[in-house]
Every structure is written in C-alpha cells, then in structure tokens.
Amino acid sequence: MCDLALRQFARALIKFSGKHCYVGRYGGEEFVVIMPGMSTDIAVTIADRIRTGLKKTPLKVSDNIRITLSSSVGIATFAPSQGQKFSSAESLLDAADKTMYQAKRAGRDRAMVYGAN
C-alpha cells in the first residue's frame, strides 16, 4: 500500500504543480518540486493547490476503504535580489527539508516558508 500511496502522491504533485515545475523523489518518502522563476507567494499557492488536490483524491485501498493523503511542505526560495541566498543547491534543499519538518511539528498538512515567522 505504501508504494501505491507514493505513486498516487507523485501523480498529484505532477498534476497540481503545473507544467513549469519539475517533480522528483528525494529520499524515501520525500519529494521535491522545483519551480524556476517563481516567487515565494506562487510557491505557497502551488503547495496549497497540491494539498487541496490530495484531499479531493482519496487513495482507494479496496471497494470500501479510501485513505486521504496529506502533505507537509517546506518552501525555500533562491532569490538573490530579495536577499534570499544559499551557497549551494544542497543548502537550499536542506532549508526546504528543515522547514518541512517544522511544518510536521506544527501539526502536519500545511505549507511553511523558510525564514518566515
């Protein structure tokens, strides 16, 4: 069932993130969505669209059982003109990963932005 859930989650990411985003698996149960040229506000909008889409598309386990998937999203942006700088792609991914865990600790099923209060 875990593989089925991961596949459905990946399909939802691709569907709801939009054609200008790149989706990839990052670790066991983590995914990354790269959004070139998009602002933090747009990234939050896309994350919310993904989360809403997941809720509206429950995973069918059997004829009688459906499971609603959720997601905790960490958003980190690279926009040097806005003072958002990272020394490497790895440090950007690390910031997003830490923020995702912060979203989980804050109650799960939410999107949070790196550096936001």
Give per-residue pLDDT as tens, 33-45.
999 988 899 999 9
54-73 pLDDT per residue, tens: 889 888 888 899 989 889 99
Distance between alpha carbon 10 and the CA centroid of its chain, in Å? 10
Is the backbone of residue 58 left (phi > 0), alpha (psi -120 to 50) or beta? Answer: beta
Delimit the domains of the chain by residue range.
2-113
Q: Give the C-alpha separation, 52 to 109, whole Å.
A: 10
Q: Give the C-alpha separation, 93 to 113, whole Å.
A: 13
CATH match of 2-113 with 3.30.70.270: yes
Specify whether 29 is catalytic. Answer: yes
Q: What is the pTM of this model?
A: 0.85
- Of 20, 26, 29, 105, which is the active-site residue? 29
Q: Which residues of the chain have pLDDT under 70?
A: 1, 80-84, 117
